[in-house]
Amino acid sequence: MAPKFELKTPKGTKDWDGKDMVIRDKIFSTITEVFKRHGGVTIDTPVFELKEVLTGKYGEDSKLIYDLADQGGELCSLRYDLTVPFARYLAMNRDIQNIRRYHIAKVYRRDQPAMTKGRMREFYQCDFDIAGSYDAMIPDAEIIKVATQIFDKLGWKGTYTIKLNHRKILDGIFQVCGVPEDKIRTISSAVDKLDKLPWADVRKEMTLEKGLAEDVADRIGEWVVLKGKKDLLVKLRADEKLAANESMKQGMDDMELLLRYLEKWKALDSVSFDLSLARGLDYYTGVIYEIVTEGSAPATIEGEPAPKQKKKKKGPKGEDDDRSDDPSVGVGSVAAGGRYDNLVGMFSGKGQIPCVGISFGVDRIFSITKARMAADKSHEQVRNTEVDVFVMAFGGKGFTGLLEERMEVVDMLWDSEIKSEISYKVKPKLPQQFKQAEVNKVPFAVILGEDELAERKVKIKEMGLLEGHPEKDGVLVLIDDLVKELKKRLQRKKELDDVARVAEGLKVVHGIKGDKKEEASVAAAAPADPLVPKVEEVASALAEEGKLADGAAPESAAEKLAGPTEAS
Amino acid sequence: MAPKFELKTPKGTKDWDGKDMVIRDKIFSTITEVFKRHGGVTIDTPVFELKEVLTGKYGEDSKLIYDLADQGGELCSLRYDLTVPFARYLAMNRDIQNIRRYHIAKVYRRDQPAMTKGRMREFYQCDFDIAGSYDAMIPDAEIIKVATQIFDKLGWKGTYTIKLNHRKILDGIFQVCGVPEDKIRTISSAVDKLDKLPWADVRKEMTLEKGLAEDVADRIGEWVVLKGKKDLLVKLRADEKLAANESMKQGMDDMELLLRYLEKWKALDSVSFDLSLARGLDYYTGVIYEIVTEGSAPATIEGEPAPKQKKKKKGPKGEDDDRSDDPSVGVGSVAAGGRYDNLVGMFSGKGQIPCVGISFGVDRIFSITKARMAADKSHEQVRNTEVDVFVMAFGGKGFTGLLEERMEVVDMLWDSEIKSEISYKVKPKLPQQFKQAEVNKVPFAVILGEDELAERKVKIKEMGLLEGHPEKDGVLVLIDDLVKELKKRLQRKKELDDVARVAEGLKVVHGIKGDKKEEASVAAAAPADPLVPKVEEVASALAEEGKLADGAAPESAAEKLAGPTEAS
């Protein structure tokens, strides 16, 4: 009864599981903590919107919107981003005149995927937006501060660049260079491609495709290649024609304030005021930004023009379209945003609410994080369950499995909120139980034996203790003291793990290490800790002590640990 | 430029925000903590699946599936539940032979909504499933234990019932009563309606609509009204005909084990072995369960047959269809599930993986929680931001607003991971700043004044301290000590809040109180704490001290607090 279709997830989507989920959740919690640190509150909007809500918001990209089938009733589309639903929400809730909202959710785009680079059809965005009428550039600066705190906390300090620009500065340059008013947005789109294409190609698009005069394009070319910080602002102000342009003036005043505030907030180091940044979406009205890192640009950007993309194939075998190996495709920006003062008014019809915000591309941040962790092997240390205690039993001939006794003990632990498990077998063998604990790197075993139970005692055994540790062979405790004794040891282990990390100078940031050069570890994963050796080391330590069955090479440390009392 | 369509979310969907989000998040974190306590790991599957994956899994309910429009490429549908995607995931990942997975995500059903009762078209499910070949009924019992721990932690102890039954017992009864083999599933569906309809109606459906002989229906009627625990099992075993039926035997052996294990796990109190429980979905093969609470059943269940549903209306004004006020619609079950041993095989074609699981309906749990909190006013205490410190400034004539100084101080706090904010105005008035802090119940103010800054000092003021408190007027600290001093006070406040709750005997469970009779509070919200009085109380205490501007009745406590130094 095998199904007649290929078993897969839809094109451009994937299942997330195992360590990937753990790493992604750590990224989410890092981002969420910073959002809350800046007063963020969260909202949740439906995954689909009325089709009309999305209409006319995304320009050329509207063709990438997923529609729901017409099954009678309203016509709906899957959300394309979180910004338009946020503006729709503000327009519907007139009593909310200001809010710092964050929203972490999936969005949908029928684009060509490049899966391993984190370019998906279904992907997460983490948005933080400040809505409300305020004095100029203070919220704008806080958004950038939020971004630096997130990337610093992810361990990316020094490895990312925040490209900044201002729509009014760009528009001013275009006006002064002689771009006709009706061509400004389309010429702006061409400029935006400078991170993927050399100037010669962009110039060709402006002149040949978009009909701009060659001398106008050349004048633009002199400006849009410039980057800097305050020095660039000085240079712009020094140009008389630019300085006389009204749009330029407003943009430069904003940018001057922004750079000053960012300096106060120690966020200027990673910033590059970059006149080539234009951003595709129409709705931006002020400052715009994009955060890039290694791998953001396509591999070919520095050399020849990018090779032509493969022709899009249609049909159910859509996964063949994955462009992960296409060198002309980079990871892209890891965060981007800007000010959009008119979007809410497109819904409300009146009552604008000025907004500025940023969106973090978690799938891309994840791809980069995972590649780094794979490079330094720290990925291997991630645990994907959080179980702290495995309750197991052993016995000699006639061993019953002690199921009900194991049930009673694990129940006591559950009721004390200790994460724990038992084997689901009535009569499990001890090596099987150790193996199961070992696979999931469970740090503690509680071992039940008939003789010990007769005295109301059980053994606590910390996995992987080194030779010479006073509790290496485990320690017998009264069942009535078990919870207390376990909590004490769990707490001590947590403290030791923390100390070890500090001692090693590890830069473990909420469980995710960013610095390539250091030995890596993840908060939940103890084994990298030098004070807490691996299970295999214990097994060999035990072997040296001559405590194990002689000679034979056991298949796993778990079997070694089982020792001679095993019931099999 | 107002849009030409009605601004709304699609029918059966809603935006979540404010306190509702905070309460819902607390429910999620309560549930997640228990899932992890039982070794759960999480996976995330796409929101849509290939249409073929969902085909043939939901029987009559398939008509409720949302399809995506055919825009070229694969045909997809929004997921209807999290169970079928989980089975598809297991079938695609052959290396995973066992897993305890949890999944918290939205699912989609084109049903008639009853919004305030938590019956939505887009709604959250929280699923926990144990997959793998194990000894009988141990995982099944753990699923029930998980449910009791979640509801107990939500504060629902004693207010819910876990209805248990077993497909093989039901099938055995049907066989013994004389139901033809090909009518068993449809008769089972009729029985399942006994929580909404009286027996007379169900009998009518069996005989008139489904063509069952009247004497067969009557024999079924004798059994399916029975409820109990072990006593019911004894009664079933005592019936010779039933005892001789093979399906019954298997079901009763399972049920006997299950009840024994649940007793070990102290989970038997809330259980009702209920022969009227049948569950709609075809894929269950063993134990089934459904958890109900007050409001689960329609208001009319005890009386006359339920009134006919209003005819479904079509068209864009779909929200008129909301059945929230329809007395024939209850909240329904708050959790449900069972064993499904054959579903993975429907995808893999071979290699069954037996599964048992449960799904929690968070929107319904939320509706009930919110109604309870509204009844005891605890809803009012919920804060929706977590900001701990508001950094503000004041000054006399020529006050500059001290923007850059406020920026420096708040930056220091952010970099120390203290949740804090400033006014986004260059020259904010002090009452405005206090008001903003008060609205969000921010517990601490850091106040900058020019004279104090000249000595590198700022004032820490805990909001709402009572008359006589040594720090009632705030305390001046060196800027260099600010972080340390604030952290000390934040920690102390947290401890006091905890102590106050214990002292009051409040049953605050991860921030959500379930017991109606007690005075309520939420972890994040301090004001209910008797040791930490409300802002208004401070204002009146200040007034008594004669520290405020005389006579005039200030509009708010914030204005009172501003006092005579105000710069406006």
Give contacts of B25 with chain A, Cβ < 8 Å.
42
Residue A470: DSSP 8-state: T
Residue B358 CA to residue B291 CA, distance in Å, equals 10
pLDDT at A560: 41
Straight-line distance from the first to the last Cα atom of chain A, in angstroms, rounded to the nearest whole number = 38
Flag the least confident range among A270-284, A316-330, A455-469, A553-567: A553-567
pLDDT reported for residue A470: 87
Helix (H) or strand (E) holding A535: helix A535-544
- Kindly list the residues from chain A whose CB atom is less than 8 angstroms away from the CB atom of residue B153: none
User: Given pLDDT bands bounded at 50, 70 and 90, which one contains residue B298?
Assistant: low
Query: B291, B334 in Cβ contact below 8 A?
Result: yes
Q: Check CB contact under 8 Å for A347 and B72.
A: no
Chain B nearest CA to A423, separation (Å): 9
**φ, ψ dihedrals at B104, nearest 5°:** -115, 110
Neighboring chain B residues of A73 at a CB cutoff of 8 Å: 11, 110, 314-316, 318
Over residues B367-411, the pLDDT tens digits come to 888 888 888 888 778 888 899 999 999 998 889 999 999 999 999
With contacts defined as CB-CB under 8 Å, which chain B residues touch A407? 261, 264-265
| A409 reaches B (C-beta below 8 A) | no
Rounded to the nearest 5 degrees, what angle is found at the Cα of A339, between the Cα atoms of A337 and A345?
120
Q: Calculate how close chain B gets to A463, using CA atoms only, in Å.
A: 18
What value does the CA radius of gyration of chain B take, rounded to a whole number of Å?
30
Choose between B195 and A45: higher pLDDT.
A45
Range of weakest confidence among A41-50, A555-564, B489-498:
A555-564
Contact B414 A106 (CB under 8 A): no
pLDDT at A551: 33
The count of other CB atoms within 10 Å of the CB of residue A377 is 11
- Place B324 in a pLDDT band, splitting at 50, 70 and 90: low
Residues in A closer than 8 angstroms to B422, CB to CB, are 138
Contacts of B5 in chain A (CB under 8 A): 50, 52-53
Whether residue B2 and residue A350 make contact (CB cut-off 8 A), yes or no, is yes
> pLDDT digits over A493-507, tens only?
999 887 776 665 444
B327 has a chain A CB within 8 A of its CB: no
Give the model's pLDDT for residue B268.
Answer: 95
Alpha carbons B369 and A478: distance in angstroms, whole number: 40
Write out residues 415-444 of B within 8 Å (CB-CB) of A: 415, 417-422, 424-426, 440
> Which residues of chain A are within 8 Å of residue B49 when distances are taken between CB atoms?
9-10
Check residues A8 and B282 and name the one with the higher pLDDT.
A8
- Judged by DSSP in three states, B48 sits in strand
Judged against a pLDDT cut of 60, whether residue B539 lies above it is answered with: no
The tokens describing B475, both together, are 């305390």
pTM for this model (two decimals) = 0.84
Comparison of pLDDT for B302 and B484, the residue scoring more: B484
User: Strands across the sheet with A122-131, in order?
Assistant: A41-42, A99-108, A122-131, A355-361, A335-340, A287-293, A160-166, A271-274, A227-228
Q: Which 8-state DSSP code applies to residue B206?
A: I
Number of alpha helices (DSSP H) and beta strands (DSSP E) in chain B: 19, 18
Q: Residue B129 in contact with residue B162, Cβ under 8 Å?
A: no
Higher pLDDT, B34 or A498: B34
CB-based contact B407 A8, cutoff 8 Å: no
**Which ranges in B178-245 belong to alpha helices (H)?**
184-191, 199-204, 214-224, 230-238, 240-244
Of B13 and B549, more confident: B13
Task: Find the mean pLDDT for residues B100-115.
Answer: 92
| Residue B18 forms contact with A (CB below 8 Å) | yes
Nearest to B419 among A39, A78, A384 (CB): A39
Shortest CA gap A117–chain B (Å): 18
Q: Which residues of A touch B414 (CB under 8 A)?
A: 37-38, 145, 149
Amino acid A559: pLDDT? 40
Spatial separation of the C-alpha atoms in residues B357 and B101, rounded to whole Å: 9
Tell me: pLDDT of B501 over 80. no
- pLDDT mean over B414-425: 97
The length of chain B in residues reads: 568
A158 touches chain B (CB under 8 A): no
Q: What is the DSSP letter of A63?
A: G
Cβ–Cβ contact B3 with A under 8 A = yes
Nearest-10 Cα torsion for A336, A341, A342, A343: 40
Helix (H) or strand (E) holding B52: helix B51-54
Nearest by CB to residue A72, choosing from B40, B314, B384, is B314
Long-range own/partner contacts, residues B501-508 (CB < 8 A, 24 or more apart)? B501/B529, B504/B530, B507/B155
Sign of CA dihedral B228, B233, B237, B238: negative
Under 8 Å CB-to-CB from A431, ≥6 apart: which residues?
Answer: A556, A558, A559, A561, A562, A566, A568
In this structure, what DSSP letter does residue B207 have?
Answer: I
The C-alpha of A277 sits at a distance from chain B's nearest C-alpha, in angstroms, of: 27
Is the Cβ of A490 closer than 8 Å to some Cβ of chain B?
no
Tell me, what's the pLDDT at A60? 73
Segment A297-314 shows an average pLDDT of 46
Eight-state DSSP code of residue B318:
G
The top-scoring range by mean pLDDT among A186-190, B110-114, B183-187, B476-480 is B476-480
- The predicted structure's pLDDT at residue B326: 60
Chain B residues lying within 8 Å of A41, measured CB to CB: 17-18, 21, 384-385
DSSP, res A548: S
- Is residue B203 within 8 Å of B221, Cβ to Cβ? yes
Measured between CB atoms, which of B1, B42, B415 is closest to A21?
Answer: B42
> In chain B, which residues have their Cβ closer than 8 Å to the Cβ of A25?
42
Contacts of B411 in chain A (CB under 8 A): 145, 264-266
Asked if B41 is an interface residue toward chain A (Cβ–Cβ < 8 A), one would say yes
Smallest CA-to-CA distance from A343 within B3, B161, B438, B58 is with B3
Task: Kindly report the nearest CA distance between residue A354 and chain B, in angstroms.
Answer: 13
pLDDT of residue A467: 87
* CB A542 within 8 Å of CB A561: yes
CB B298 within 8 A of CB B185: no
Position B408 scores a pLDDT of: 97
Residues of B in contact with A153 (CB under 8 A): none
B329: confidence class by pLDDT, cuts 50, 70, 90: low
Residue A169, SS3 per DSSP: helix
Distance CA A378, CA A376 (A): 5
Looking at residue B470, its pLDDT comes to: 87
Query: How crowded is residue A494: how many other Cβ atoms within 10 Å of its Cβ?
Result: 14
Inform me whether the C-beta atom of residue B312 falls under 8 Å from chain A C-beta atoms: no
Q: What is the largest CA-CA distance in chain A?
A: 97
The answer to whether B401 contacts chain A (CB < 8 Å) is no
The secondary structure of B373-434 as a DSSP string is HHHTTGGGG--S----EEEEEE-STT----HHHHHHHHHHHHHTT--EEE-SSSS--HHHHH
Number of H helices, E strands in chain A: 19, 18
A42 to B50: CB separation less than 8 angstroms, yes or no: no
pLDDT-above-70 percentage for chain A: 81
pLDDT confidence bin for A305, thresholds 50/70/90: very low
Chain B: give the shortest CA distance to residue A203, in Å. Answer: 34
Range in A28-32, A35-39, B170-174, B544-548 with the lowest mean pLDDT: B544-548
Q: Is the pLDDT of residue A5 over 70?
A: yes
Of B9, B93, B349, the CB nearest to A1: B349
B237 pLDDT exceeds 60? Answer: yes
Beta partners for residue A287, in sequence order: A166
Give B321's pLDDT tier (boundaries 50, 70, 90).
low
Q: What are phi and psi of B336, to 5 degrees?
A: -165, 160
- Sign of the CA dihedral with B513 first, then B514, B515, and B517 last: positive
Both tokens of residue B149?
């721990």
Is B44 within 8 Å of chain A by CB?
Answer: yes
| A410 pLDDT above the threshold of 80 | yes
